[in-house]
């Protein structure tokens, strides 16, 4: 099963250099590129809803995924639960995702500059001004949009519930 998943999903997994080239090709074909980023440690209905809404804003959805090292810095030593390659494959297996790429920096700014999305998306817990890359996307003629989360879903809360049940 994993071999089949890898074969299908790997064509959507890109390196930092490859994603810039792929985005340029898609744009030259008239595709509208949407970009978002995150940890996506334990996929849940909140993630799926958010990503589907993001994908509906354009024709190609690219997701920047925090590297394992950057997740540890952001979330603590016990995270991520799933290694970056697993997280990449899970996201790439979603039919509405066109590309996934790992970034190791503290923010996805360099990746956003490389992709040059038509639309930059983050959760509604951010103000447009606080979204990393918003200035660059807006200056390039793109849009920045926020999406409401599904109440009650978060990987952190899910992990806490699992841990509480195991104590």
Q: Where are the alpha helices (DSSP H) in the chain?
A: 2-10, 16-28, 45-55, 68-75, 84-92, 109-115, 134-139, 155-166
pTM, two decimal places: 0.90
pLDDT for residue 163: 66
By residue range, what is the domain housing residue 127? 2-166
Q: What is the CATH number of the domain that holds 144?
A: 3.40.50.620
Domain count of the fold of the chain: 1
In this prediction, the residues of the chain whose per-residue pLDDT falls under 50 are none
pLDDT for residue 16: 92
């Amino acid at each position: 099963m994993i071999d089949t998943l890898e074969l299908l999903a790997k064509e959507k997994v890109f390196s930092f250099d490859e994603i810039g080239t792929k985005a340029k090709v898609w744009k030259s074909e008239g595709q509208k590129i949407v970009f978002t980023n995150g940890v996506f440690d334990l996929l849940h209905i909140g993630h799926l809803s958010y990503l589907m809404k993001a994908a509906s804003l354009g024709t190609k959805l690219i997701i920047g995924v925090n590297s394992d090292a950057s997740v540890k810095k952001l979330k603590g030593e016990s995270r991520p639960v799933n290694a970056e390659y697993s997280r990449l494959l899970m996201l790439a297996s979603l039919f509405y995702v066109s590309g996934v790429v790992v970034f190791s920096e503290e923010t996805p700014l360099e990746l956003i500059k490389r992709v040059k999305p038509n639309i930059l998306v983050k959760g509604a817990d951010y103000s447009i001004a606080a979204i990393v890359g918003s200035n660059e996307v807006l200056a390039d003629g793109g849009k920045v949009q926020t999406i409401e989360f599904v109440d009650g879903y978060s990987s952190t809360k899910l992990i806490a519930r699992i841990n509480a049940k195991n104590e």
